[in-house]
Amino acid sequence: MKKNQKIIAPFFEIGPKNYIYGDRILDLALAADAASEKYDVHVIFTAPYADIRRVDEATRNIHVFAPHMDALPIGRGLADVLPESVKAAGAQGVMLNHAERPLSYSLLEKTVQRAKRIGLYTIICADSITEVKAGAHLKPDIIVAEPAELIGTGERANFDYVVDACKAVQSVNPDVMVLIGAGISSGRDVYDAITHGSDAAGTSSGVACADDPLAMIDEMVHAARKAWDDREEIKLGQ
Amino acid sequence: MKKNQKIIAPFFEIGPKNYIYGDRILDLALAADAASEKYDVHVIFTAPYADIRRVDEATRNIHVFAPHMDALPIGRGLADVLPESVKAAGAQGVMLNHAERPLSYSLLEKTVQRAKRIGLYTIICADSITEVKAGAHLKPDIIVAEPAELIGTGERANFDYVVDACKAVQSVNPDVMVLIGAGISSGRDVYDAITHGSDAAGTSSGVACADDPLAMIDEMVHAARKAWDDREEIKLGQ
Amino acid sequence: MKKNQKIIAPFFEIGPKNYIYGDRILDLALAADAASEKYDVHVIFTAPYADIRRVDEATRNIHVFAPHMDALPIGRGLADVLPESVKAAGAQGVMLNHAERPLSYSLLEKTVQRAKRIGLYTIICADSITEVKAGAHLKPDIIVAEPAELIGTGERANFDYVVDACKAVQSVNPDVMVLIGAGISSGRDVYDAITHGSDAAGTSSGVACADDPLAMIDEMVHAARKAWDDREEIKLGQ
Amino acid sequence: MKKNQKIIAPFFEIGPKNYIYGDRILDLALAADAASEKYDVHVIFTAPYADIRRVDEATRNIHVFAPHMDALPIGRGLADVLPESVKAAGAQGVMLNHAERPLSYSLLEKTVQRAKRIGLYTIICADSITEVKAGAHLKPDIIVAEPAELIGTGERANFDYVVDACKAVQSVNPDVMVLIGAGISSGRDVYDAITHGSDAAGTSSGVACADDPLAMIDEMVHAARKAWDDREEIKLGQ
């Protein structure tokens, strides 16, 4: 029952985006839920708005996140996503500023503050190392560092980028956790991201477009656990 | 069990926007569902994305609509609303081009076509009489005619606007049904809109901000039925 | 000195977009100015904002248009384009709703009205035949009919599209003139567009990316004159 | 002939936005030009796109800036503002991310880099102290620190904000100069901003809506000089 626990490293994020929908979202969520328990790894599942409640109700371990929300107050805004709405549906957090839904920095700041006021976790996505730093200044729970041009390509960022992103967050705000995204397409990619210093890795197409998405989830969550344990062992050995 | 029937006049639309969220959405939906059956009036319930499935599953009569959707294909678009996603959750239709989420005409045309291809009803919102005509050219199922400056004010459009909007749609495409919105705040407003020629009326704040929202739903749906029957009687008497 | 005369068919439009800048804009404008006089054809020259005044001051025949403007009132809006600002600089009209700067229909309507109030010509761009009709309802001076997917390709719309676009405008508002754009890349294309019923043709890349842009302007403006004269002759002969 | 010199403190920025247009822009620019020479203060004049060339050609001292530009490459983008276009017209720099034209951080980073590559000065506007820091990470020449809710109000930021903004920039990148904006409406406000640590102050409505705009420019530029000299004297006295 990890769902009720605070998210700590190592963790993993799956966001199927719009690659799949309906019942297949639920299948993925159930697989993620099982892997989370099996490997004792927190898993964030970023669900389409319409699936947040169903996914949350059907699972025990995963933390359901919204892919975006608007900072508007309760009231008008017909097609806007009210923070209280996704929270009431079961979302524990929200991803913001993804390359596919960028926000101005000023609006991002207001939206992070809005999320914090109602008790939602915040993830900020960033592209360059400079943007990673700028994001960390806003004190989110998590920074996603992912070179935008690699999203959806299956090609991951080089190790220097991973190391630099972790250092950049560390230099601004060591409390912020770092998740490496973009191009993560195997357990090996997850392992490498975490052993190079990140707290987590995440993927969309890496799972949604895999030959066997459910097996890939197991492989990746397993890799997150193994990477973390190996890192800890090395630390202890020193 | 009107939910499975084709939407025909008279009908009514309730879209709580972001005035309320969570369980209160469900309360409203249940009241709308009861009124739909009681008065034999089709009711469209435009639910926040996160509530579409829950509202649809808990009701027998109302037609659940999404407040917007994006025309993107299956795939990327993390925070975009995939048509297939809201349909899989139970949406029967989608509202497009609301004053609070305007689309370019070119994109609106593509989005209407996308909705039709997967079997969703389409509602296009329009402000001026000229925009009503332009909307009718796209052959949606329903045009919402509502002066944007009256939205949320409790002051309804004058009767000339209602008559002109109905004539405008008639002149372009008589198959398109007309719903009058903006400032509908009592059963009387609903009655007047329909007796002046529309097929329906709709409201957001008129219900969500009423002293007794559930009673207001009953009053308005009742008025839709009465207006329609009175119109028919007059026609028969002629 | 055609600049001071009302724009009538046949006419031609050149909008170099951002293919060129600075002094080369002026070179193009001077060539257009010479061709306008030589062939007695009105030429609209859609100049980048920063070149409107210079181009207008250096020419005697061409009508300088802004590529867009915002409907805002005098006041704030630091980076918005005030209608009065482009008019004071010499713009006689404005192009609106180009595929590269689409507007919601509601805003387009307001912007057309704003332009009319201060005495600017209005051109509305449209993609599909349905959008051509919707645009004509707004009573602009000119509709640009151009399939968006052909813009910049050098491949022009088929003749059915040209004929249908002209009929569509005719059916809604016969006072609106029709300009065919997208893929116009030779004098022949200009000739064909006008002999199939349009009042004008226009191009961006067709001139800006031609081997000899100045010669191409002469060729195209000449073709506009010839097409019109041939059309008139056929009418007289009937 | 300060126009050809590098911008150094103390300096002043005037951006008439859309409060005025046409010949009145030129009047303001000439007054700013005279004040720049009279008080030996660099003045940045942020002109509407359509006035950049005229203002630059008519002056000897002021640095003309564009109020925005787009990061697009040479080519399409009919209504976008090409960096090379405003530069060719005489702009020496560009203001970016103003509260009235916010950019995502990722796009802001790309736009700053684009400006640097073609030799334009860059000004980044920021609202909160956190945004000031984030902006400084991008290494612009100048950060405008201005609480967005005070823009156009005539009420200036409190001194703590000024001091904190200067410290924030200093902590991230001491080479970036700080300009205080929002609510600057008298020479006194300019004086206070600079004596509290900034390199400059700037205004739009403070000049454009003043009873005597030309006198106000003289007063404000004078105050910038006096504030700087008083600061230097205090330093020398220490």
In percent, how much of chain B has pLDDT > 70? 100
**In this predicted structure, what is the pLDDT of residue C155?**
83
CB–CB contact A18 B49 (8 Å): no
Residue among B21, B72, B101 minimizing CB distance to A79: B101
- The interface residues of chain A toward chain B in range 59-88, judged by CB-CB distance below 8 A, are 67-68, 72, 74-82, 84-86, 88
D233 carries an active-site annotation: no
Whether the predicted pLDDT of A238 surpasses 80: no
Find, among A170, A88, A96, the residue nearest to A133 by Cα.
Answer: A170
**In this predicted structure, what is the pLDDT of residue B234?**
86
pLDDT digits (tens, 9 = 90+) for A30-41: 999 999 999 999
Chains B and C touch (3+ CB pairs under 8 A): yes
- Work out how many CB contacts closer than 8 A connect A with B: 141
CB–CB contact D99 A109 (8 Å): no
Q: How many CB atoms sit inside 10 A of residue C74's CB?
A: 14
pLDDT digits (tens, 9 = 90+) for C32-83: 999 999 999 999 999 999 999 999 999 999 999 999 999 999 999 999 999 9
B13 carries an active-site annotation: no
C137 CA to chain B: closest CA distance, Å? 6
pLDDT digits (tens, 9 = 90+) for C152-195: 787 888 999 999 999 999 999 999 999 999 889 999 999 999 99
**In this predicted structure, what is the pLDDT of residue A1?**
81
Residue in chain B nearest A96 by alpha carbon: B79
**In this predicted structure, what is the pLDDT of residue A45?**
98
Which of D42, D68, D146, D196 is flagged as catalytic? D146
pLDDT digits (tens, 9 = 90+) for B187-234: 999 999 999 999 999 999 999 999 999 999 999 999 999 999 999 888
Q: Which chains touch D (3 or more CB pairs under 8 A)?
A: A, C
Residues of C in contact with B133 (CB under 8 A): 134, 137
pLDDT digits (tens, 9 = 90+) for C190-229: 999 999 999 999 999 999 999 999 999 999 999 999 999 9
Give the ranges where A58-183 is alpha helix by DSSP (H): 83-88, 105-117, 129-136, 159-172
**In this predicted structure, what is the pLDDT of residue B41?**
97
**In this predicted structure, what is the pLDDT of residue A149?**
85
- State how far the Cα of A78 lies from the Cα of B19, in Å rounded to an integer: 9
C170 three-state secondary structure: helix
CB–CB contact C78 D85 (8 Å): no
Strand runs labelled E in chain C: 11-14, 42-46, 63-66, 93-96, 121-126, 142-145, 177-180, 200-203
Radius of gyration of chain A (CA): 16
B24 CA to chain A: closest CA distance, Å? 10
D96 CA to chain A: closest CA distance, Å? 12
pLDDT category at B147 given cuts 50, 70, 90 is confident
**In this predicted structure, what is the pLDDT of residue B101?**
95
Find, among C138, C132, C141, C137, the residue nearest to C167 by Cα.
Answer: C132
CB–CB contact C131 B105 (8 Å): yes
**In this predicted structure, what is the pLDDT of residue C150?**
82
Instruction: Give me the phi and psi of C223, to 5 degrees please.
Output: -65, -35
Which residues of C are known to be catalytic? 98, 146
Q: Which of A5-9, A155-159, B88-92 has the lowest mean pLDDT?
A: A155-159
CB–CB contact B78 A68 (8 Å): yes
pLDDT digits (tens, 9 = 90+) for A186-223: 999 999 999 999 999 999 999 999 999 999 999 999 99
Residues of C in contact with D205 (CB under 8 A): 76
D146 touches A at CB < 8 Å:
no
B222 three-state secondary structure: helix
CB–CB contact D107 A105 (8 Å): no
- Adjacent-strand bridge partners of C22: none
**In this predicted structure, what is the pLDDT of residue A155?**
83
pLDDT digits (tens, 9 = 90+) for D127-174: 999 999 999 999 999 999 998 888 878 788 899 999 999 999 999 999
Which of B13, B63, B131, B146 is flagged as catalytic? B146
Whether the predicted pLDDT of B238 surpasses 80: no
**In this predicted structure, what is the pLDDT of residue B46?**
97
Chains B and A touch (3+ CB pairs under 8 A): yes
Residues of D in contact with A126 (CB under 8 A): 105-106
- State how far the Cα of B30 lies from the Cα of B38, in Å rounded to an integer: 12
B155 CA to chain A: closest CA distance, Å? 16
C69 CA to chain D: closest CA distance, Å? 9
CB–CB contact B133 C137 (8 Å): yes
Q: Are D44 and D63 in contact (CB under 8 A)?
A: yes
B2 CA to chain C: closest CA distance, Å? 34
Listed as ranges, residues in chain D with pLDDT below 50 are: none
CB–CB contact C85 D51 (8 Å): yes
Whether the predicted pLDDT of C1 surpasses 90: no
B231 CA to chain A: closest CA distance, Å? 32
Whether the predicted pLDDT of C22 surpasses 80: yes
Whether the predicted pLDDT of A117 surpasses 80: yes
Tokens coding A19: 């690659």
CB–CB contact C84 D50 (8 Å): no
CB–CB contact C109 B103 (8 Å): no
pLDDT digits (tens, 9 = 90+) for C110-142: 999 999 999 999 999 999 999 999 999 999 999
The percent helix, strand, coil of chain B (3-state, each to 5) is 45, 15, 35
Which of A146, A196, A219, A222 is flagged as catalytic? A146
Give whole-number Cα distances, C151 to C98, C203, D44, D74, in Å. 10, 9, 39, 16
Residues of C in contact with D49 (CB under 8 A): 48-50, 81
Three-state secondary structure of chain D = CHHHCCCCCCEEEECCCECCCCHHHHHHHHHHHHHHHHHCCEEEEECCHHHHHHHHHCCCCCEEEECCCCCCCCECCCCCCCHHHHHHCCCCEEEECCCCCCCEHHHHHHHHHHHHHCCCEEEEEECCHHHHHHHHCCCCCEEEECCHHHCCCCCCCCHHHHHHHHHHHHHHCCCCEEEECCCCCCHHHHHHHHHCCCCEEEECHHHHCCCCHHHHHHHHHHHHHHHHHHHHHHHHHC
Which of D42, D63, D98, D222 is flagged as catalytic? D98
CB–CB contact A84 B53 (8 Å): no
**In this predicted structure, what is the pLDDT of residue D154?**
79
**In this predicted structure, what is the pLDDT of residue B154?**
79
Q: Which chains touch B (3 or more CB pairs under 8 A)?
A: A, C
**In this predicted structure, what is the pLDDT of residue A230?**
94
Radius of gyration of chain D (CA): 16
Q: Are A201 and A222 in contact (CB under 8 A)?
A: no
Residue among D102, D106, D128 minimizing CB distance to A131: D106
Residue among C50, C72, C204 minimizing CB distance to D53: C50
Whether the predicted pLDDT of A101 surpasses 80: yes
Strand runs labelled E in chain B: 11-14, 42-46, 63-66, 93-96, 121-126, 142-145, 177-180, 200-203
- Across chain B, mean pLDDT equals 95
Residue in chain B nearest A15 by alpha carbon: B78
Instruction: Give me the phi and psi of D186, to 5 degrees please.
Output: -160, 165
- State how far the Cα of C16 lies from the Cα of A163, in Å rounded to an integer: 46
- State how far the Cα of A118 lies from the Cα of A121, in Å rounded to an integer: 9
Task: Work out the burial of residue B8: count CB atoms within 10 Å of its CB; fewer than 13 is exposed, 13-18 middle, 19 or more buried.
Answer: exposed
Tokens coding C135: 């645009």
Residues of A in contact with D134 (CB under 8 A): 105, 133-134, 137
- Across chain C, mean pLDDT equals 95
